[in-house]
């Protein structure tokens, strides 16, 4: 093999190669931009409900859906609440005020709070929304270990980075910017949860907090009514 090393060529043909769009590794076939990787744009959805479906339903994730996928999926979920009620509604331990017919209707109508909260149970996810322009976060559900963050930026996308700002609990003032409140401010939808804060006196919440091993003091001072209420609401179950 050594005799090949001694061969000398009068001309280097490599130098005469001209780069073109057919040269391997230099061009993106779609945009012909030299040395630029192809980046798939992030899909933005008008409604959070659709964004949740597309990012959690296995059929969507595996691209097993056509043009009418999301309409069919919403209808399928609404029907399952009746036909599979024991595993698709009754098992979530909702209060009677959180009515099945309301959720079914607004699973079709879109952008209603009841259907968003229902999907948290359906997919077993905790859910935080992040408003990019207002730089604020709101927790809609904190029941589950898996947490999805969805960013609002004139539309909804799943947000995969961490957020380093305080996370507010939902209330009528911050929710109405994003959803139609078909729950009439009654956001405690589970049996065993608290009613609206206006239903309690400070003494009532102190008694409930004491039963649930929540300290009544912050330092040397008694906690305020709202502090106790928020801490109790963060519990998965209340005694």
**pLDDT single digits (tens) 181-192:** 999 988 889 887
98 or 13: which leads in pLDDT: 98
Which pLDDT belongs to residue 146? 94
Neighbours of 39 (CB within 10 A): 7
Neighbours of 47 (CB within 10 A): 17
Residue 169: alpha-carbon gap to chain centroid: 15
Do residues 127 and 139 make contact, with C-beta atoms less than 8 angstroms apart?
A: yes
Provide the CB-side half-sphere exposure for 132 (13 A, CA): 11
With a cut of 60, say whether residue 227 has pLDDT above it: yes
Residue entry with tokens 């609002």: 152
With a cut of 50, say whether residue 55 has pLDDT above it: yes
Confidence tier at 178 by pLDDT (50, 70, 90) = very high
* DSSP 8-state class, residue 42: P
Classify domain 48-175 at the CATH topology level.
Cathepsin B; Chain A (3.90.70)
- pLDDT above 90 covers a percentage of the chain that reads 51
Going from N- to C-terminal start, the domains of the chain cover 48-175, 197-233
Burial class (CB in 10 A: 0-12, 13-18, 19+), 19: exposed
């Amino acid at each position: 093999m050594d005799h090949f090393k001694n061969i000398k060529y009068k001309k280097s043909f490599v130098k005469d190669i001209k780069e073109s769009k057919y040269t391997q590794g230099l061009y993106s076939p779609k945009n012909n931009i030299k040395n630029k990787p192809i980046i798939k744009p992030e899909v933005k959805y008008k409604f959070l409900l659709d964004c949740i479906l597309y990012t959690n339903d296995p059929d969507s994730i595996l691209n097993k859906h056509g043009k009418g996928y999301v309409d069919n999926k919403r209808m399928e979920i609404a029907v399952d609440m009746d036909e599979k009620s024991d595993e698709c509604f009754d098992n979530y331990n909702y209060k009677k005020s959180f009515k099945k017919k309301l959720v079914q209707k607004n699973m079709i109508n879109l952008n209603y709070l009841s259907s968003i909260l229902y999907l948290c149970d359906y997919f077993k996810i905790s859910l935080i929304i992040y408003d990019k322009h207002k730089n604020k976060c709101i927790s809609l559900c904190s029941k589950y270990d898996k947490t999805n963050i969805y960013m609002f930026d004139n539309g909804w996308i799943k947000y995969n980075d961490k957020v380093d700002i305080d996370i507010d609990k939902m209330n009528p003032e911050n929710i109405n910017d994003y959803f139609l409140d078909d729950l009439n401010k009654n956001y405690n939808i589970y049996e065993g949860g608290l009613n609206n804060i206006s239903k309690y006196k400070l003494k009532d919440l102190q008694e409930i907090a004491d039963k649930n091993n929540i300290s009544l003091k912050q330092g040397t001072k008694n906690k305020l009514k709202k502090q106790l209420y928020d801490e109790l609401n963060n519990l998965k179950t209340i005694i």
